[in-house]
A and B are shown apart, each in its own frame.
Chain A
Amino acid sequence: MLDAQTDAATEKTLEIQGITKSFGAVHALSDISFTVNRGEWIAIMGPSGSGKTTMINIIGCMDRPTSGAVILDGEDVSSLSAEELTVIRRDKIGLVFQQFHLVPYLTAVENVMVAQYYHSLVDENEALQALDRVGLLERARHLPRQLSGGEQQRVCVARALINSPKLILADEPTGNLDESNGKIVMDLFRQLHAEGSTIVVVTHDPDVAACAEKTIVLEYGRLARITDNPPQTGKVEQAGETAQTTLDKQA
């Protein structure tokens, strides 16, 4: 974490250089370039079908671009094999999904521990601490189906942050949540950002996007524009507090 703060302004966590992605005749992404600096919070917006998920899957090393380069933490990952991508993914990336993607037969804490297991060493106490952070310590032994959508998404966030990833990616993290649960999850992201995490969030909700420092807008697979959002420094701290109080109430 201390490392992360040195050179935060200059170091590039992610560089997207002219990537395209085609699924047969469908051009999901064409010639997209942008950069995400360490500690930055970026939102990707755009209408349905504009290529947001395709984009985040490529950044998250779940898929490879048809052409162009993806430079993650200084390494070009665009032409790595699936197994090599798996290693990068587990070492450097934390993932949060609209559909949560929790392992249904594992408890909340076990879901967090699986991420630890494949990354390094399983430490149940640390996993419990992560759940505590998202206000779910009491629900640690529950299976996903015994949790509400909001709770499942918070487990997902705990799982994403457990290995202190270089980059946290979230695809519509509030898409399946009601407003209040969406707010709890966004408060968690605010906290993570305040602590120095680099975050890329895909959303079609302008309120969610407004939390980020920059918004990248995709249209028909093309980069329509990149906008700088009004600085929200004050709001971040304030929001951090709100998140904490909300979670305290939950716990």
Chain B
Amino acid sequence: MDQAKETVKARALTPLALAWATLRRRPARSGSLCLLVALFAFALCAAALVNAWLKSGLSGLSGRMGADILIVPYGYEKKLEGALLRGEPSQFYTKVELVDKIRGHAFVAAASPQLFLTSLSAGCCSVKVQLVGFDPATDFSVGPWLRSRLDKPLGQLGTDEIVVGALITAKPGESIRFFGKPFTVAARMDRSGMGFDSSVFMTLEAARLLTKEALFAELAAEGLMPLGGADDADAAISSVLIKVKDGSSVKEAANELMRLYAIPYNLDMLVAADMLSAISSSIKNLSLLLFGLACGLWGIALLALFVVFSAGQAERRREMAILRLLGATRKRLALITLTEALLISLAGAAGGLGAAGLLLLPFAPLLFQTLGLPYLPLSCGQALAVGITVALLALLTGPLAASWSALSLTRLDTYQSLREGE
């Protein structure tokens, strides 16, 4: 008889099959629980991704900056920060003689000027771009970075050549016009996560020529005249980047420079470390907020799962008691419950991660730009690590919430549970 049975098609009502039947035939309940887990997975994923993006953006930023102190005309430190972090175009000027004076101090290891210009419109770009003129002879800030893409020494970059940031859509060899003057793209940089991505780099000389010759009329018309007027264009710079000697205090150096030059040259300055720590703290706040949200959603998901699976529910207790009447051991009841919870978690985790992949990855650059924060795409490995961590936590949610219920099912009083239904 038993042998005959074995030959017939057998469909085993394993704990998995029973759990699946429960979920499938209660779509509203299962769906809403899945949704909660999915929301949690999504929020956690968002938090983890944003955190990872911000960290990589930040490390890119501090590595790229190179300078300890940045000197700008008084009142422009916010503008410089905007240009550095977000590539917000701006221009401001001070005098070039300052560079040599600063270089003269014992505590200064290096000082190099930069000249900023804002393109009004360019063939390449629908928006204004930040043009950055750097001094190939003295630069220690963007130079090393630019060299990673440029196939010739910085000094050989011609006055009609430019290096463009990753977000400027122009290939090497192509030509772009700024203020009517054509420039050849010598190289295009990789993503840096900071304002440099939407900036265009050229030599200081090229930037001066552009300021002076081509565009003076246009600049004047726009009221964007250099501080000292046309005659001073040769002497104009926007910012001085300073590297302090090892062993000297950046704070003290900054104070000394301010004391000497702030009033005569009408200057202000940014200490890179302060700027970065300000960004760090805003990053911390944002990740904290997102992690807080994820935690809150986790709590809600846990609670909802707990309530639904709770053996405190007479209906559920009754169902389990019926299975027990038919011969299921208490361990099996616990197993069915845990399987059911795991299936919900699984679906939720898949949904949440899928949604995060579809919504967050493509729109992250836009989001970060809006928030004014540095953005750098994650490597596959990093993204995978985030995904796996989130998936594991989401998968754990269901069984965790149901574990108490599973445990209490092992103490279920069959007879009592069925009587309650009467």
Q: Contact: A86 with B324, CB < 8 Å? A: yes
Using CB atoms, name the residue of chain B closest to A62: B415
Whether A110 pairs with B13 at a CB distance below 8 angstroms is: yes
Mark out the residues of chain A between 95 and 121 whose CB falls within 8 Å of any chain B CB in the assembled complex. 95, 97, 99, 101-106, 110, 113-115, 117-121
- Cβ-defined contact, A110 with B21, below 8 A: yes
Q: With A83-B330, A105-B22, A118-B328 known to touch, is A126 a contact of B5 (CB < 8 Å)?
A: yes
Please pick, from B14, B25, B327, the residue contacting A89 in the complex, using a CB distance under 8 A.
Answer: B327
Q: Which one, B21, B327, B330, B418, contacts A119 given CB within 8 A?
A: B327
User: CA of A92 to CA of B321 in the docked complex: distance in angstroms?
Assistant: 18
* Chain B positions within 8 Å of A101 at CB level: 318, 321-322, 325, 418, 421
- A95 contacts across to B, CB distance below 8 A: 325
Q: Does A90 contact B (CB under 8 A)?
A: yes
Min CB distance B261 to A, Å, is 80
CB–CB A106/B21 < 8 A: yes
Within the complex, the shortest CB–CB distance from B24 to chain A, in Å, comes to 8
Q: Does B8 count as interface, using CB distance less than 8 angstroms?
A: yes
**Contact A90 B10, CB 8 Å, known A99-B422, A105-B26:** no
Q: Are A113 and B325 in touch, CB under 8 angstroms? A: no
Q: How far is the CB of A172 from chain B (nearest CB, A)?
A: 10
With beta carbons under 8 angstroms apart, the residue of B12, B318, B324 that contacts A117 is B12
**Residues of B with C-beta under 8 A to A102:** 322
A30 to B175, CA, bound (A): 104
Known: A99-B421, A104-B319, A110-B21. A120 touches B325 (CB 8 A): no
Per-residue CB contact flags for chain B residues 1-25 toward chain A (1 = under 8 Å, else 0) read 0100110111111100010011011
Q: In which size bucket is the chain B interface?
A: 20 to 34
Q: How many contacts between A and B, using CB within 8 angstroms?
A: 86
Which residue of the partner chain B has the closest CB to A60? B325
Q: How many residues on chain A are close to B (CB under 8 Å)? A: 35
A125 interface residue, CB < 8 Å from B? yes
B5 and A124 contact, CB distance less than 8 A = no
Complex: A122 Cα to B404 Cα, angstroms: 30
Q: Chain A's interface: helix, strand, loop or mixed, by majority? A: helix
**Contact status B11-A103, CB under 8 Å:** no
- Closest residue to A105 on the B side, CB-wise? B25
| In the complex, per-residue mask of B161-176: 1 if CB is within 8 Å of any chain A CB, else 0 | 0000000000000000
Q: Is A76 an interface residue (CB 8 A)?
A: no
- Tell me if A80 is interfacial: C-beta within 8 Å of chain B: no
User: Contact between A90 and B327 (Cβ–Cβ < 8 Å)?
Assistant: yes
B414 at interface (Cβ–Cβ under 8 A)?
Answer: yes
Whether a CB of chain B sits under 8 angstroms from the CB of A57 is yes
Smallest CB separation, B182 vs chain A (Å): 73
Interface string of B324-358 (1 = CB under 8 A from A): 11111110000000000000000000000000000
The yes or no answer to B366 lying at the interface (CB within 8 A) is: no
Q: Is B323 an interface residue (CB 8 A)?
A: yes
Asked if A87 is an interface residue, CB under 8 A from chain B, the answer is yes
Q: How far is the CA of A95 from the CA of B323 in the complex (A)?
A: 12
Q: Which residues of A contact B330 (CB under 8 A)?
A: 82-83
Given the known inter-chain contacts A99-B422, A126-B8, please indicate yes or no for A143 contacting B25, CB distance below 8 A: yes
> Does residue A123 face the partner (Cβ distance < 8 Å to B)?
yes
Most chain B CB neighbours (cut-off 10 Å) among A97, A105, A120? A105
Given known contacts A83-B330, A110-B13, A121 and B325 CB-to-CB distance under 8 angstroms: no
> In the docked arrangement, what's the CA distance between A1 and B319, Å?
32
A217–chain B nearest beta-carbon distance, Å:
22
Query: Are B9 and A87 interface neighbours, CB within 8 A?
Result: no
A63 at the interface (CB under 8 A from B): yes
Cβ–Cβ < 8 Å partners of A115 in chain B: 326-327
Task: Give the CA-CA distance A20 to B100 in the complex, in Å.
Answer: 108
A selection of 25 A-B contacts at a CB cut-off of 8 Å is: A62-B414, A86-B327, A86-B328, A86-B329, A95-B325, A97-B418, A99-B421, A101-B318, A101-B325, A101-B421, A103-B319, A105-B25, A105-B26, A115-B327, A117-B12, A117-B13, A118-B328, A120-B5, A121-B5, A122-B11, A123-B5, A124-B11, A125-B9, A126-B8, A143-B25
Closest 8 CB pairs of A and B: A90-B327, A118-B327, A105-B25, A117-B13, A62-B415, A121-B5, A115-B326, A105-B22
